Amino acid sequence: MSERKLKISGSNVDPFAALILVFSIIGIILILIGPFAGLYYENYYSGNRYSCLGCEYSTPGDVAAQVIMLILLIIQIVMVLNDLLPNKFIEKDLEKYGILLAVVTFFFAIIGIASFGAEYDNDYDWWPELGFYSGIIVGLLNIILFFLKYKNK
């Protein structure tokens, strides 16, 4: 057992796994409720338009990237729940796979914004929004936390 476990009501809790769980849940919520990217639409009805999972100005690439990021974050939650629950349902050490999934989450945020930018770059001013930033930040934080979890094992 690692020395970096917290004692909470008689059980050992890995703080890195708990942080990964919290950050992944927050990331899922932000990707679901926030826009992924935005653009300024110049027409008779000018104004900002957004890309999200159900928005009109989404591209197939950024919607696919958002869905894949959600799936990857859910898998990361399952991986850390395996460590946090008293009875492990997966006996294998999953830290290396967690690092890989967090890296893939980070890159899918970049792929999604690149898809959005490629679609709207020539005609509109566009920018990344909450969904992109949450994918990047949660991916980076989970890379660091899975690495620390692996090193402190």
* pLDDT tens digits along 73-115: 999 999 999 988 888 888 888 899 999 999 999 999 999 999 9
The answer to whether 27 and 134 are in contact (CB under 8 A) is yes
Identify residue 82 by its one-letter amino acid code: N
Contact call for residues 15 and 21 (beta carbons, < 8 A): no
Residue type, 127: W
**Over the chain, what is the mean pLDDT?**
90
Nearest to 59 by CA among 109, 129, 114, 124: 114
Q: How many whole angstroms separate alpha carbon 105 and alpha carbon 142?
A: 9
Has residue 2 got a pLDDT over 90?
no
The three-class DSSP label of residue 86 is coil
49: tokens are: 């338009």
Q: What is the pLDDT of residue 29?
A: 97
CATH T-level topology, domain 6-151: Butyryl-CoA Dehydrogenase, subunit A; domain 3 (1.20.140)
Give the model's pLDDT for residue 4.
54
How confident is residue 70, by pLDDT bands cut at 50, 70 and 90?
very high
pTM for the model stands at: 0.88
Listed by start position, the domains of the chain span 6-151
Element (H, E) at 125: strand 125-128
**In this predicted structure, which of 13-22, 29-38, 87-96, 99-108 has the lowest mean pLDDT?**
87-96
C-alpha count within 13 angstroms, C-beta hemisphere, residue 142: 36
